[in-house]
């Protein structure tokens, strides 16, 4: 069989923050892909604002470098479990993977998740122990951990014969020896060329091209990114698109783009093994196959992880609706959600009985909160409900998603963490004492028990703990309440501006969420109660002036610093009877029913319905 010696296709996989994107930066720079005078941003692959701010990769992206007349296509994948849908599809497009592991942290939950996907696709691995320059780096132990993980995931003998490269992505150096570094990354390039299999050259056979990623732009519409598995595709060719529902559509290939560095360039034809972007098909979806009209042979469809969490998105109907956003109507919000479906295959949007509400399902809180954050930055106003897990019926049994949780904490917090996860129906699988005062705990916890847990976790470990989790499986639903918030809230009874005097009057009742001068409305949540019940408060109250001088007149009033929540914290904080109002300027928590008397009536009705 002929092979294409001039091409290699690899994916970079790793746990979040183990340095994949920085490593790709260095490979791009050192391969001579950029001109010497070209300005290249740090983490060049993370092009989205939120990716840059948070230092995480959200969307899988591809780039290509030229090294010694060989083109290396590199897919940079997300490390976060919520974007696992992106990782799975990439695996089908490549022949090998670079598994990047932090030289100090070692194997983490996402390392396990991404490696499992790669081994299932029978890909050839190269292990890169990155951040070798870190204090307390422990490369030998990390390599042992990686070998154990391969064995645990049933790797075959060939896969266990992986080469190991020790690298420092930030310094742009690599070596075969953990004790010293070469001055560049040549050893990594050479290992990729020697070890990753070249694709088969089947350009003379009938075409098979499968879409793994979607892109969209206003000029050419929908763009399918994928791999030519067989044959040749050229511009102007009439082809058949084998849809997932079994139907076949014909269309003409209007443009083909190849990847060179960070740019896409128009090319006239592509051969077996090439990773390309194709435009001309409006109705193309992930997993569909493009074939010649006279030789219709679809490839196996791609399996994409189902969503595990859902929220209701609602048109903003608070008293402050329309003040800050450009797009506030149900038509605009629905258009935006439908547009998101064009590129995000792990997302689902369902209509409800109300024309102003939609159920949006995703892979986790981060997945959904990033969609909400993008929408507010684009000028949308909306309200969202508390996230809830998606329950499935399997063989007549109600099942819920279970997450595998890995926790690294100082020894003294072990007891309180075990107790807190135990109360959330967590089951401990393993406990390892690393000997340096750090303990690693592994749990299986129902996904609903983890909603809102990160704030508790940070409090319990005083910020010294690290928690990571990834979807494990669906298991029979555990009875009773799991997790959730125990404290009640302070709810405003007035509309107006929060005053220093008003805040001081209620400070001893709990924690305040707003600063003096913040505009508030009746039914808005302005703080957390120290007890379990909700109470209504008036923090717009102003001190009445009198002509009597007070003995303490010259003492300045000092109020405690309010707790200002980020979007994720606000979503985690919600209860079933509350919404989070999201606008370009503000994130507000509110009760679904704003009026106190109506709220009490509704609560009585609900209690009555439950007891009868």
Query: Per residue in 210-230, pLDDT tens?
Result: 888 777 776 777 788 888 998
Mean pLDDT value of segment 601-611: 84
Give the least confident one: 294-303, 358-367, 553-562: 553-562
- For position 447, which CATH number holds? 3.30.70.240
Q: Residue 579 has what pLDDT?
A: 94
19 is in an annotated binding site: yes
Mean pLDDT value of segment 457-476: 81
Q: Give residue 547's pLDDT band: very low, low, confident or very high (50, 70, 90).
A: low
Domain boundary among 435, 455, 476: 476
* Of 20-24, 107-111, 128-132, 332-336, highest mean pLDDT: 332-336
Domain boundary among 458, 476, 494: 476
Beta-strand ranges (E) seen in 246-396 are 248-252, 255-260, 263-267, 269-271, 275-279, 289-292, 309-315, 348-351, 357-362, 382-385, 388-389, 392-394
Residues 169 and 237 in one domain: no
Closest by alpha carbon to 112, among 473, 475, 445, 469? 469
Q: Are 575 and 485 in contact (CB under 8 A)?
A: yes
Residues 156 and 271 in one domain: no
Residues 21 and 112 in one domain: yes
Residues 94 and 116 in one domain: yes
Does residue 303 fall inside a structural domain?
no
Half-sphere exposure of 457 (CA within 13 A, CB side): 23
17 is in an annotated binding site: yes
169 is in an annotated binding site: no
Which domain covers residue 247, as residue numbers?
208-292
Q: Are 169 and 133 in contact (CB under 8 A)?
A: no
Q: Give Cα 469 distance to the centre of its chain.
A: 12
* Token couple for 95: 């022949």
274 is in an annotated binding site: no
Using the predicted structure, report yes or no on whether residue 474 has a pLDDT greater than 50: yes
Residues 217 and 156 in one domain: no
Using the predicted structure, report yes or no on whether residue 339 has a pLDDT greater than 90: no
Q: Residue 60 has what pLDDT?
A: 43
pLDDT, tens digit (0-9, with 9 covering 90-100), for 374-405: 899 899 999 999 988 889 888 889 999 888 88
Does residue 539 fall inside a structural domain?
no
Pairing of the two strands 519-520 and 263-267: unpaired
Does residue 361 fall inside a structural domain?
no
Beta-strand ranges (E) seen in 493-603 are 496-497, 510-512, 519-520, 525-529, 535-537, 578-582, 587-591
Residues 37 and 101 in one domain: yes
- For position 118, which CATH number holds? 3.40.50.300
436 is in an annotated binding site: no
Q: Residue 35 has what pLDDT?
A: 42
- Radius of gyration, alpha carbons of the chain: 27
Q: Give residue 54's pLDDT band: very low, low, confident or very high (50, 70, 90).
A: very low
- The CA-atom distances, in angstroms, between 108 and each of 154, 442, 459, 536, 597 are 18, 11, 22, 45, 50
Residues 101 and 186 in one domain: yes
Q: Residue 465 has what pLDDT?
A: 81
Decide: helix, strand or coil at residue 372: helix
Mean pLDDT value of segment 517-531: 92
Give the least confident one: 272-276, 427-431, 545-549: 545-549
Q: Residue 240 has what pLDDT?
A: 87
Give the least confident one: 208-222, 384-398, 438-452, 491-505: 208-222
Beta-strand ranges (E) seen in 530-586 are 535-537, 578-582
Does residue 440 fall inside a structural domain?
yes
Using the predicted structure, report yes or no on whether residue 34 has a pLDDT greater than 70: no
133 is in an annotated binding site: yes
Decide: helix, strand or coil at residue 30: helix
Residues 224 and 154 in one domain: no
Q: Residue 81 has what pLDDT?
A: 52
Does residue 355 fall inside a structural domain?
no
Does residue 250 fall inside a structural domain?
yes
Give backbone dihedrals phi and psi of 427, rounded to 5 degrees, phi first: -120, 120
130 is in an annotated binding site: yes
Q: Residue 57 has what pLDDT?
A: 38
Residues 274 and 148 in one domain: no
Residues 263 and 406 in one domain: no
Q: Residue 279 has what pLDDT?
A: 82
Q: Give residue 78's pLDDT band: very low, low, confident or very high (50, 70, 90).
A: low
Using the predicted structure, report yes or no on whether residue 554 has a pLDDT greater than 60: no
Q: Residue 524 has what pLDDT?
A: 94
Q: Residue 155 has what pLDDT?
A: 84
Q: Are 264 and 214 in contact (CB under 8 A)?
A: no
Q: Residue 372 has what pLDDT?
A: 92
Does residue 318 fall inside a structural domain?
no
pLDDT cut 70: percent of the chain above it: 89
- Work out the mean pLDDT of the chain and round it to a whole number: 82
pTM attached to this predicted model: 0.73
Q: Residue 548 has what pLDDT?
A: 62
Domain count, the chain: 3
Mean pLDDT value of segment 493-511: 90
Using the predicted structure, report yes or no on whether residue 551 has a pLDDT greater than 60: no
What is the rounded CA–CA span in Å between residue 229 and residue 297? 12
Closest by alpha carbon to 366, among 450, 423, 261? 450
20 is in an annotated binding site: yes
Residues 82 and 123 in one domain: yes
- For position 237, which CATH number holds? 2.40.30.10
Closest by alpha carbon to 305, among 128, 466, 474? 474
Domain boundary among 272, 292, 312: 292
Between 563 and 244, the more confident residue is 563
Residues 177 and 223 in one domain: no
Give the least confident one: 103-117, 193-207, 385-399, 408-422: 103-117
Does residue 132 fall inside a structural domain?
yes
In the chain, DSSP finds a helix count (H) and a strand count (E) of: 15, 35
């Amino acid at each position: 069989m002929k092979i294409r010696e001039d091409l290699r296709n690899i994916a970079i996989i790793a746990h979040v923050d183990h340095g994949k994107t920085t490593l790709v930066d260095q490979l791009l720079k050192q391969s001579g892909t950029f001109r010497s005078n070209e300005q290249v941003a740090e983490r060049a692959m993370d092009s989205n604002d939120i990716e840059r701010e948070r230092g995480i990769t959200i969307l899988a992206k591809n780039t290509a470098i030229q090294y010694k007349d060989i083109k290396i296509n590199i897919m940079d994948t997300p490390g976060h479990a919520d974007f696992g849908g992106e990782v799975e599809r990439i695996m089908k497009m490549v022949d090998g993977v670079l598994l990047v592991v932090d030289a100090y942290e070692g194997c983490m939950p996402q390392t396990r998740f991404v490696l499992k996907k790669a081994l299932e696709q029978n890909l050839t691995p190269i292990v890169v122990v990155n951040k070798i320059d870190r204090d307390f780096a422990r490369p030998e132990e990390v390599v042992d951990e990686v070998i154990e993980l391969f064995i645990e995931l049933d790797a075959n003998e060939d896969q266990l014969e992986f080469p190991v490269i020790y690298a420092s992505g930030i310094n742009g150096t690599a070596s075969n020896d953990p004790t010293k570094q070469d001055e560049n990354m040549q050893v990594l390039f050479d290992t990729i060329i020697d070890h990753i299999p070249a694709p088969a050259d089947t350009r003379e056979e009938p075409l098979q091209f499968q879409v793994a990623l979607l892109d969209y732009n206003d000029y050419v519409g929908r763009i399918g990114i994928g791999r030519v598995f067989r044959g040749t595709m050229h511009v102007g060719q009439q082809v058949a698109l084998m849809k997932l529902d079994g139907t076949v559509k014909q269309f003409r290939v209007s443009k083909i783009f190849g990847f060179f560095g960070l740019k896409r360039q128009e090319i006239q034809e592509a051969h077996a093994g090439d990773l390309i972007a194709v435009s001309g098909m409006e109705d193309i979806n992930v997993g569909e196959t493009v074939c010649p009209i006279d030789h219709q042979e679809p490839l196996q469809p791609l399996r994409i992880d189902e969503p595990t969490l859902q929220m209701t998105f609602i048109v903003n109907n608070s008293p402050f609706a329309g003040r800050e956003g450009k797009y506030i109507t149900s038509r605009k919000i629905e258009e935006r959600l439908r547009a998101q479906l064009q590129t995000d295959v792990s997302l689902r949007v369902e209509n409800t009985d109300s024309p102003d509400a939609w159920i949006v399902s995703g892979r986790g809180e981060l997945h959904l909160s990033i969609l909400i954050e993008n929408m507010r930055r684009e000028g949308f106003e909306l309200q969202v409900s508390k996230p809830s897990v998606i329950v499935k019926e399997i063989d007549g049994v109600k099942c819920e998603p279970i997450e595998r949780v890995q926790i690294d904490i100082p020894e003294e917090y072990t007891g309180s963490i075990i107790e807190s996860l135990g109360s959330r129906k967590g089951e401990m699988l393993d406990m390892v004492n690393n000997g340096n005062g750090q303990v690693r705990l592994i749990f299986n916890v129902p996904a609903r028990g983890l909603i809102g847990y990160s704030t508790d976790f940070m409090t319990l470990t005083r910020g010294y703990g690290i928690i990571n989790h990834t979807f494990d499986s669906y298991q029979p639903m555990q009875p009773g309440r799991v997790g959730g918030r125990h404290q009640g809230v302070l709810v405003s009874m007035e509309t107006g501006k929060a005053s220093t005097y008003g805040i001081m009057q209620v400070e001893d009742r709990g924690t305040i969420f707003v600063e003096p001068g913040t505009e508030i409305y009746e039914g808005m949540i302005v703080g957390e109660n120290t007890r379990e019940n909700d109470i209504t408060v008036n923090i717009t109250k102003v001190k009445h002036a009198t002509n009597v001088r007070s003995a303490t007149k010259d003492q300045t009033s000092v109020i405690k610093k309010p707790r200002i929540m980020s979007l994720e914290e606000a979503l985690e904080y919600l209860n079933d009877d509350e919404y989070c109002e999201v606008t370009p300027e503000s994130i507000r928590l509110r009760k679904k029913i704003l009026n106190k008397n109506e709220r009490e009536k509704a609560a009585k009705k609900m209690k009555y319905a439950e007891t009868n």
